[in-house]
Structure 1
Amino acid sequence: MGDLLTGPASPRRQLRQLLAAPGPTIAPGAYDALSARLVEQAGFEVVYMTGFGTTASLLGRPDVGLLGGAEMADHARRLVDAVERPVIADADTGYGNAINVVRTVRSYEQAGVAGLHLEDQVMPKKCGHMSGKAVIETAEMVGKIRAAADARRDEDLVLIARTDAAAVHGLEAAIERAHAYAAAGADVLFVEAPTSAEDIATVARELAGVAPLVFNWAEGGRTPPLSLEEIAELGFALVLYPIATLLAATTAVQDVLATIARDGGPQAAMDRLPTFDGFTDLIGLPEVQQLEQRYAPRTDA
C-alpha cells in the first residue's frame, strides 16, 4: 500500500525489470484508487488502470471514447498515489494527433505512471473487444509513437503500442503495424483481440524478439481465455486481466442492494462484508492515526 509520506523507488525501472524477466507479469485491472490498493494488497507486482473500468466508474457509461485526456491523467494520478507498485495506464488514442500525444505523454508522466499504452483507433475510440472499430493509417500512428518517444522526459517510462487493426484489416496487417510501431520507438507491443488460439500463437511467433508482448485476457471478450501456462509458453511478457475486479464489484453491489430491497436492510449480507474496522484498516486509517500523533501540538513546547 502506498504510504502518505513515502513512495516507491523508480517504479518505471521496476516495470522494465519485470518485463525483461522470464515468464509473464500479471497486471490486474483497477478502476479506481481503492481497487488499485486491493490489487497491490493481493500481492501483484503491477497495477493496470483500465480505460473500460475508468469510464464505467467515473461516468457509468461504456468505453466508447467519452473521457478526455485530462480526466484520464487525473484518474491515473490518484491510482499512482494510492499504491507503491508500478501503474500501467490506458491512454486510448492519445486524444488527438501527434501533437496531442506529446501533451498526453507529458501529463501521464507527471501523473507518475510507469507505463502507458496508445492505440491506433480512429477517435472516438471503442473498447477493443467491441464491434465497429476503425483505425488510422499506419504512417499516422508511426508519427504518434515517435512523438510519444520524444515527449517523455524519463527514458524509463514504458511506451506500449497497441494495434486494433486485426479486427479491421486482418491479423497480418496488425502484425505488420506492430513491427512498424516497434521501429518507431515503442518499448512493448500489444496486438488487440486476436480471435483464436492459432492467431495468438501467430502473434507470438511473428513478433518474438521484436519487443516484449502484451496478452489482454479480456474477460468475456473476443480473445480465447488461455491458461497462464499457455501464455507463458508463447512468450508473452505482460498479461492484463482488465475488468475482473470491476465485474466482481458490480456483482457484489447488486447482491447487497438486492438484500436491502428484499429485507429492508443489509443484515443478511453482513457476514459476507468486511467489518467497519477491518475496512478502515485496509484503506490506511492506522497510518493516519500515527501521523496525527506525530504532528499533534506539543504540550512541552
Structure 2
Amino acid sequence: MPHNPPWEPGLLSSLTGVGPGPSARDKRAALRAALAAATAGGGPGAAVEPLVLPGATDALGARLVEDAGFAAVYATGAGLANAGYGLPDIGLISQTEIADHAGRLTEATRIPLICDADTGYGGPLAAMRTVRLLERAGVAGLQLEDQEMPKRCGHFDSHALIPSGHMQTKIAAACEARTDDALVIIARTDARSVHGIDEAIARGRAYAEAGADALFVEAPRTVDELALVGRELAGIPLIVNVVEGGKTPQLSVAEYAELGFGIVLFANYLMRSMHLAGQEALAHLKQHGETASRAGRMASWEQRQSLFNLPRFSAAETALDRELGSIS
C-alpha cells in the first residue's frame, strides 16, 4: 500500500463489486464450514445448524439475500430462465450464459454463491469445462444433476435420467477438473420422479462415493420419504428444495433439520414474491395513473441507494479525486 493514500482505512474494501473483498477461496471455505455445521452425522434428530439458502435471479436478489443476513445465496437456473430470458425451465439456457450470469452475482455479494449448473451441459467433458468456467466466475459451489438433456424442472413431470454409473463418471470428472479443491460439488438426482425413492437414495449414495460433497434428492413426496432420505444418507450434507406448490411437503426449517436435511433451499421464493409485488405495483399504476399513494409499499429512495452502497461510493469518488500523498 502506498504511503498516505488519499482515502480512509477500509473505504475501498467496503465497495462491493469494485473494491477488494473476500477471495473465491475464502468464500468456498466459508461454504464448507457451513456445510459441516449442517451435516447430521448422527442421522435425523441430530443437532445441526441448518443453512437456509435463498435463491436469486440477479445481482439485486443476491444483494437482498446478503442484506437480510443469510450466510449464502443460490443462483437458480429456473429463475435465470424465467427472469433473465422469459423462458420456462426446460433446459434452454446454455453453459456460457450461466457462467456469465454467475460471475455477475459473485461480484455483487461477499457471501458464498452456489450455482445451479443443470446437467453440466453435456457429458463428462462438458461438465469439466462447466466446472472450470464457474470456478473462474468465483462460485463457491455448483450443482450437477442426473437428467438427460434437455433437463426439466424437478417438480415438472416426464423426466429422463442418464444411467447412475454415467453420472458417477461425470461427478468424478467434475471433481478432477477443479483447480481449487475447496470448490463444493453438489450432486442432484431426479430419480424419485422416474424410479421411486429407493432408487433416488441408491443414486445419492453412489454419487457420494464418486466424490460429491453434498447430495440433493429432488422432490420427495411425503414426510416419510424425507425421513427415509435423512436416515439412509446420514453423514452427508443433504439439501431439500422447498418449491411452494411443488411435490415436496412444505415444512419449517427446523422440521427439515430434524429429518436430517441441513441445507434448506428456497430457490425461487424471492423471485415469486417479487413477481407478485411487481404485478400489484403495475396494476396500481395502470388503474390510478400515479405512484405517490403507493410509496409506502416500495423501497424508499434512501433504502435503494443504501442497498447499493451509494454513500460509500460517493465518498470514494471524492477521496480518489485527490493526489496520492495529500493526506499527512
Note the C-alpha offset of 1:139: 1.3
- Moved >6 Å (runs of 4+): none
Q: Which residue of 2 aligns with 1:6?
A: 20
Q: Which residue of 1 aligns with 2:167?
A: 141
Distance in 1 (alpha carbons) for counterparts of 2:301 and 2:61: 17
Distance in 1 (alpha carbons) for counterparts of 2:255 and 2:96: 38
Distance in 2 (alpha carbons) for counterparts of 1:77 and 1:47: 13
Q: Which residue of 1 aligns with 2:41?
A: none
> Given the alignment, which residue of 225, 234, 252 partners 1:199?
225
Secondary structure of the structure 2 residue equivalent to 1:64: coil
Distance in 2 (alpha carbons) for counterparts of 1:243 and 1:181: 25
Secondary structure of the structure 1 residue equivalent to 2:215: strand
Distance in 2 (alpha carbons) for counterparts of 1:287 and 1:220: 41
Contact 1:219–1:242 (CA<8 Å) still a contact in 2?
no
Note the C-alpha offset of 1:235: 2.0
Map 1:19-168 to 2 at 5 A.
19-21=35-37, 22-168=48-194
Question: Which range moves more in the overlay, 54-63 or 1-10?
Answer: 1-10
Structure 2 residue identity aligned to 1:15? L
* Cα 1:299–1:150 shift into 2, 3 Å: closer
Structure 1 residue identity aligned to 2:294? A
Secondary structure of the structure 2 residue equivalent to 1:38: helix
* Unaligned runs of at least 5 residues, structure 2: 1-13, 38-47
Secondary structure of the structure 1 residue equivalent to 2:240: strand
Structure 2 residue identity aligned to 1:69? Q
Structure 2 residue identity aligned to 1:8? P
Q: Which residue of 1 aligns with 2:278?
A: 253
Structure 2 residue identity aligned to 1:7? G
Structure 2 residue identity aligned to 1:100? A
* Cα 1:2–1:108 shift into 2, 3 Å: farther
Distance in 1 (alpha carbons) for counterparts of 2:188 and 2:325: 60
Contact 1:2–1:82 (CA<8 Å) still a contact in 2?
no
RMSD, matched Cα? 1.5
Normalised by the size of structure 1, how large is the TM-score? 0.96
* Unaligned runs of at least 5 residues, structure 1: none
Q: Which residue of 1 aligns with 2:269?
A: 244
Note the C-alpha offset of 1:82: 0.5
- CA deviations on 1:234-293 (whole Å, 9 max, x unpaired) are 221211011110011111110110011101122221121112232112112112212211
Contact 2:154–2:190 (CA<8 Å) still a contact in 1?
yes
* Cα 1:299–1:76 shift into 2, 3 Å: closer
Are 1:16 and 2:32 counterparts? Answer: yes
Distance in 1 (alpha carbons) for counterparts of 2:101 and 2:324: 41
Contact 2:106–2:137 (CA<8 Å) still a contact in 1?
yes
Note the C-alpha offset of 1:7: 1.4
> Given the alignment, which residue of 188, 202, 224 partners 2:249?
224
Distance in 1 (alpha carbons) for counterparts of 2:255 and 2:304: 37
Secondary structure of the structure 2 residue equivalent to 1:43: coil
Structure 2 residue identity aligned to 1:253? G
Count, aligned residues: 300
